Amino acid sequence: MPRSFLVKKHFNASKKPNYSELDTHTESGVIYADLCTHMRKPCDQPTHKMEESFSVSLKRVVIISPYLYEGYPVPVIPQPEILSSGAYSPITVWTTAAPFHAPLPTGLSPLSGYPASLGRVSPPPPSDTSSKDHSGSESPISDEEERLQSKLSDPHAIEAEKFQCNLCSKTYSTFSGLGKHKQLHCDAQSRKSFSCKYCDKEYVSLGALKMHIRTHTLPCVCKICGKAFSRPWLLQGHIRTHTGEKPFSCSHCSRAFADRSNLRAHLQTHSDVKKYQCKNCSKTFSRMSLLHKHEESGCCAAH
DNA sequence: CTGGGGATGGGGCCC
DNA sequence: CGGGCCCCATCCCCA
């Protein structure tokens, strides 16, 4: 399975946004306002769609932005400090998507009210800030100690232990005991993830999340046209479209390409055996997209 | 309609 | 941990 498919595909990639809808915005201020509004609120639309929205906005900014006329860098994406502190909050990362599996008592929301910075573990709920620092993955207290503490602090704890962890089956006499156990152990270990604030994607490492966030912030800006990219090498490839540099040459013909992937696709045209074959008619194609077109055109309609 | 080039996005891997 | 690179995928456009 292609690696990039592990996270993508929450949307219909075949559809592009209707650019004409944006034509009503003719002033850069309007565009910036739209962009800022979009960035301020948690994104509830597919990532790709949003990126395209940025791209469209950017293209329009490039044309009309006074920053370009003055020779200044284009402020493609508003930075947090530009936005009002009340409206913008930094990317929230938490290591457990939902620290409790069991329903929480009213008002006990371990995450609400705790905007965490990147890579930080969300602090425990107020009721859990007693004596020990529990921020690490390793707890200084054992499960048995937890249970004992729970019993000692709860006058009814002597009764039958009726709160059971649905992950490890340990039982606790109090809800708080179970909750503490789950937050410190089971949930933290089984559900550790880093979530993007701008979209619904989750990653198992902070590095992966940071890289993904670049696709939202687009920090690499072309000095020539102002177009923004998520990574430096993407910008490099783009700059080649300005310079005409084509460092990747075909060994079979005289063609050269600015992008290695495009050279690879081109090399397929020299190959007698095409890489992508239709399962129905065995016809082969040099590209996956061509095979898909072929399938959509009706060859595989009988299946 | 098909094939191919150009441009770009994005996750994973390696250093 | 971050940057660079690899690889794959996709879309647009044109012949």
Length of chain A equals 303
Q: In which element (H, E) is residue A48 found?
A: helix A47-64
pLDDT at A268 over 50: yes
pLDDT at A280 over 50: yes
pLDDT at A80 over 80: no
- Among the listed ranges A78-92, A174-188, A201-215, which one has the minimum average pLDDT value? A78-92
**Structural tokens at position A35:** 């962009």
pTM given for the model: 0.46
Output the pLDDT for position A242: 87
Q: Which residues contact A17 (CB under 8 A, 6 or more apart)?
A: A49, A52, A53, A56
Sequence letter at residue A266: H
Question: Which residue is closest, via its CA, to the C1' of B2?
Answer: A290
pLDDT in tens, A236-245: 888 888 888 8
What nucleotides of chain B have any atom within 7 angstroms of a protein Cβ?
A: 1-13
**Whole-number distance in Å between A122 CA and B15 C1':** 32
For A53, counting Cβ atoms within 10 Å of its Cβ (0-12 exposed, 13-18 middle, 19+ buried), the class is middle
Confidence of residue A161 (pLDDT cuts 50, 70, 90): low
Question: Which residue is closest, via its CA, to the C1' of B13?
Answer: A3
Span A147-170, average pLDDT: 52
**Whole-number distance in Å between A231 CA and C3 C1':** 9
Residues A27/A60, Cβ–Cβ less than 8 Å: no
Question: Which residue is closest, via its CA, to the C1' of B12?
Answer: A3
Give the separation between CA A139 and CA A134, rounded to whole angstroms: 6
Return the half-sphere exposure (C-beta side, CA atoms, 13 A cut-off) of residue A54.
28
pLDDT at A147 over 60: no
pLDDT at A59 over 60: no
CB atoms within 10 A of CB A258: 18
Mean confidence (pLDDT) of chain A: 54
Residues A176/A150, Cβ–Cβ less than 8 Å: yes
pLDDT at A20 over 70: no
For A76, counting Cβ atoms within 10 Å of its Cβ (0-12 exposed, 13-18 middle, 19+ buried), the class is buried
**Whole-number distance in Å between A150 CA and B12 C1':** 44
pLDDT at A219 over 60: yes
Residues A285/A277, Cβ–Cβ less than 8 Å: yes
Q: Whose C1' is closest to the CA of A292: which nucleotide?
A: C10
